[in-house]
């Protein structure tokens, strides 16, 4: 009887024809360096069934098993990505409509998630059921680098979320969040700032 690892390897081999166009689009993309940064972070979270540095194997693993990664790759590939959406299913309730997203983004689970920011920085982490979006007449958020936005959080309006900030689960953010701050609650309050526990409004 085949081991789980062997079965996974066979699945990856069988997946090659399905995702061959994705691999070709990646190999010829002007956005390849950014995609490589995404890939490296996703593989840290969702490692391949065998330890390998092969980009092809890593891409096949993520494309086969994680629809959220397909959404992100299609976004990175631009017009070609929109064509590839017709070839393979995405996470249908994940919407990425942000013009500028830095490298190394991880979308963990990603269902019922809307990312409509002015910009999102490098190496951010976004969980499921997150809304990043417009408030009437107030624009959309600017998200810094290395920001974590936890499950169910809402970041609304023309606010700025500073580098290394953490938005707690189900928090509602309608004001600027300073760098290195952790915020929780409705409305969100700062509970940690620069590694020190605090309790203060935004």
Say which CATH number the domain at 133 has.
2.160.10.10
Per-chain mean pLDDT for the chain: 92
User: Is the same domain home to 101 and 64?
Assistant: no
pLDDT in tens, 71-104: 999 999 999 999 898 888 889 999 999 999 999 9
pTM value surpassing 0.75: yes
Confidence at residue 19, expressed as pLDDT on a 0 to 100 scale: 87
Whether 69 and 160 map to the same domain: the answer is: no
| Residue finishing a domain among 68, 91, 114 | 91
Average pLDDT over residues 13-20: 75
Nearest to 74 by CA among 19, 112, 122: 19
Residue at token pair 């024809």: 17
> Do 120 and 196 have their domain in common?
yes
- Give me the domain span that covers residue 124: 93-202
Question: Do 83 and 136 fall within a single domain?
Answer: no
Q: Are residues 86 and 125 in the same domain?
A: no
Give me the pLDDT at residue 25, please. Answer: 94
Q: What is the DSSP letter of 139?
A: B
> Sign of the CA dihedral 45, 51, 52, 58?
negative
Q: Domain total for the chain?
A: 2
DSSP 125: E
Quick one: pLDDT at residue 6? 62
What's the pLDDT tens digit per position in 27-75?
999 999 999 999 999 999 999 877 778 898 899 999 989 999 999 999 9
Q: Based on the domain organization, do 126 and 107 belong to the same domain?
A: yes
| Terminal C-alpha separation, the chain | 58
Residue 99 and residue 73 share a domain: no
Give whole-number Cα distances, 79 to 74, 83, 105, 151, 158, in Å. 8, 7, 20, 30, 28
Indicate if 193 and 117 belong to the same structural domain. Answer: yes
Q: Of 61, 91, 121, which marks where a domain is finished?
A: 91
């Amino acid at each position: 009887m085949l081991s789980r690892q062997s079965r996974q390897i066979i699945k990856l081999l069988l997946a090659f024809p399905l995702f061959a166009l994705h691999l070709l689009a990646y190999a010829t993309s002007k956005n390849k360096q950014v995609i490589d940064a995404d890939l490296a972070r996703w593989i840290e979270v969702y490692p391949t069934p065998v330890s390998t540095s092969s980009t092809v194997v890593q891409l096949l693993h993520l494309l086969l098993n994680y629809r959220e990664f397909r959404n992100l790759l299609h976004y990175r590939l631009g017009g070609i990505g929109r064509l590839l959406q017709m070839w393979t299913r995405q996470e249908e309730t994940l919407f990425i409509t942000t013009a500028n997203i830095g490298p190394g983004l991880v979308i963990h689970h990603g269902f019922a998630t809307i990312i409509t920011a002015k910009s999102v920085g490098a190496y951010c982490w976004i969980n499921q059921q997150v809304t990043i979006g417009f408030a009437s007449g107030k624009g959309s958020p600017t998200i810094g680098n290395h920001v974590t936005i936890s499950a169910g959080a809402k970041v609304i309006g023309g606010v700025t979320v500073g580098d290394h900030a953490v938005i707690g689960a189900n928090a509602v953010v309608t004001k600027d969040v300073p760098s290195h701050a952790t915020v929780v609650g409705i409305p969100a309050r700062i509970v940690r700032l620069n590694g020190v526990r605090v309790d203060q409004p935004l």
